[in-house]
C-alpha cells in the first residue's frame, strides 16, 4: 500500500511495503537524472521496479509491460519530467496532469485533503503516514523543476 503526492513542485511518497503480514521499509522513489525524471508507483513493488526499467530504457510502446495492461496487475505511476507531472495507468502513453496537486495510492484521499488545506507533498505524506494503516516508514521526496 502506498501514497504518492505531487504539490506542483515536490514529488513525495511513503516507504512502506507490505510483505505477507510484515511491514518493511523500501525505496519507492526512482530518480532518473539523465532523463530529468522522478517517478514513484503505487502497487506491486516488483512491477513498480519493472515499470521504472521500462522508462529508463526509452518507454518504447512495443516493449510496454504486459502486466500493466490488466487492471488486476497494473500499477499507478506518477512521473515528473522537467517539472511536468504525468500519470501512467494501463497504456504506454503518459497523461499530463493539469491539477494543482495530485495524490495516488491507498492514502490518496488523506494526502489530497492535506494539500487542499495547505500542506506540501512531504507534509501530506507525513500526515497520511500518521493516519493510514497502509502507509508509513518515512517519506522519500524530490524537488522537480
pLDDT tens digits along 15-38: 999 999 999 999 999 999 999 999
Are the CB atoms for 138 and 32 separated by under 8 Å?
Answer: no
pLDDT of residue 3: 97
Q: Left, alpha or beta for 137 (phi > 0: left; psi -120 to 50: alpha)?
A: left
Q: What gap in Å lies between CA 128 and CA 92, rounded to an integer? A: 29
67: DSSP letter: G
The CATH code of the domain that includes 87 is: 3.60.20.10
Q: Which domain holds residue 73?
A: 3-142
- pLDDT recorded at residue 145: 78
- The confidence score (pLDDT) of residue 1 equals 77
What are the tens digits of pLDDT across the range 65-78? 999 999 999 999 99
Query: Would you say the C-alpha torsion 87, 91, 92, 95 has a positive or negative sign?
Result: negative
pTM of the entire predicted model: 0.95
Q: What is the mean pLDDT of residues 44-53?
A: 94
Mean pLDDT of 82-94: 95
Please state, in angstroms and rounded to a whole number, the distance separating the CA atoms of residues 135 and 5: 12
Q: How far apart are CA 57 and CA 20, in angstroms?
A: 31
| Counted domains in the chain | 1
- Judge contact between 28 and 46, C-beta under 8 A: no
Amino acid at each position: 500500500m502506498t501514497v504518492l503526492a505531487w504539490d506542483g513542485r515536490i514529488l513525495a511518497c511513503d516507504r512502506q511495503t507490505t510483505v505477507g503480514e510484515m511491514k518493511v521499509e523500501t525505496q519507492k522513489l526512482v530518480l532518473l537524472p539523465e532523463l530529468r525524471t522522478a517517478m514513484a508507483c503505487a502497487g506491486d513493488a516488483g512491477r513498480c521496479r519493472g515499470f521504472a526499467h521500462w522508462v529508463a530504457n526509452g518507454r518504447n510502446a512495443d516493449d510496454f509491460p504486459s502486466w500493466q495492461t490488466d487492471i488486476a496487475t497494473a500499477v499507478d505511476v506518477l512521473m515528473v519530467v522537467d517539472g511536468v507531472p504525468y500519470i501512467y495507468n494501463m497504456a504506454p502513453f503518459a497523461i499530463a496532469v493539469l491539477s494543482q496537486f495530485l495524490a495516488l495510492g491507498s492514502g490518496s484521499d488523506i494526502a489530497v485533503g492535506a494539500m487542499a488545506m495547505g500542506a506540501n507533498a512531504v507534509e501530506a505524506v507525513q500526515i497520511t503516514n500518521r493516519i493510514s494503516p497502509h502507509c508509513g516508514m518515512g517519506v522519500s521526496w524530490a524537488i522537480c523543476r
